[in-house]
Amino acid sequence: MLEFISSAWSGKEKLSLVFWGYYISGQLGLALLVGTLLAFIPSETARFALTAILVLPYMIWASWAVWACAYNVEQKYWGHAARVVVVISVASAIRSSIEILGWF
């Protein structure tokens, strides 16, 4: 089971599998899971902690995996496009986190 984690992390998987299978589908599945769990947690602090514990590690891994595997394709422009998606996604997550935490 851990083989796909280390393989994707080290850039040895195909971009299509990592991007569509782990990055996009994984985010959707994680959003459904976390959204369902959050409906049953009344404490705002506990909700934030659950989200950080489940979402943050996965997003770091999935984002890095896409970045590392970006050029495991025949047409290199797909690698560029995947990296642009990751940069936009990470920037959006940082901006949202700053707004939620009220830092600025």
| Reported pTM | 0.88
Contact call for residues 8 and 18 (beta carbons, < 8 A):
yes
Q: Are 14 and 69 in contact (CB under 8 A)?
A: yes
Tell me how far the alpha carbon of residue 81 is from its chain's centroid: 16
Residue 87 near residue 39 (C-beta atoms within 8 A): no
* pLDDT, one tens digit for every residue, the chain (104 residues): 588 889 999 999 999 999 999 999 999 999 999 989 988 988 888 888 888 898 999 999 999 999 999 999 999 999 999 999 999 999 998 898 888 777 76
C-alpha neighbours within 13 Å on the C-beta side of residue 54: 18
